[in-house]
Amino acid sequence: MRYIVFDIESISMHGFNVRGRVDVNEQELTVVAIYDSETKNYSAYFKEDLPKLWPILEKTDVLIGFNSDNFDIPLLNRYYPGDLTQIHSLDLLAEVYAVLGRRIRLQSIAQATLGKGKSGDGLKAVDWWKEGKRDKVREYCIDDVRITKDIFDYARENGILKYKDLSDIRDIKLDTKLWMITTDIPTITHTLPL
């Protein structure tokens, strides 16, 4: 089974909405980073490179991300000529939310589960992009994909993730048995030849 772990960096075209939340429709994609389980490689694609990414995504069985169902897939779908929601997805944040009833930041899970944190944050990535530091944004996005993949692997091997709750490290028990089960219905693609 081929899976893609991915993350997106973006910049806001109009700032945050009234509640301080990011509106995916107000975002412009800057870079997409992926880990491809078939090639075992990490790679990144700027907006102008997206036509090279589509055939890879169309050949995957599962898209794996963190907050990907609510942010990454809807944003990427604005650039894709088809519908990425037709590809089976696993949103690790949604899995955590289903157990805890609240959202936990990737940084908190990474530090508690893996003993290491992220190399920056999304706001710094926006600043780097505005400063023309495209390679720095690309590397930051790839680093987030590495962390997401490590968290995914840890959860599958151990059935849990960890997070810091005040000064305590707590477990999030996850049922990972169905994570990689997909239907046999072929995905309709829009960029590959028929």
pLDDT along the chain (194 residues), means of 10: 95 56 82 98 97 96 96 96 94 96 93 83 81 93 96 97 91 92 61 54
Residue 99 covered by a domain = yes
Residue 22 covered by a domain = yes
Residue 182 covered by a domain = no
pLDDT at 186: 54
CA angle 61, 67, 72 (to 5 degrees): 65
pLDDT at 105: 92
pLDDT at 169: 93
The DSSP symbol for 67 reads S
Range of the domain at 58: 3-173
pTM recorded for the entire structure: 0.88
Query: How many domains, the chain?
Result: 1
Residue 191 covered by a domain = no
CA angle 6, 152, 90 (to 5 degrees): 60
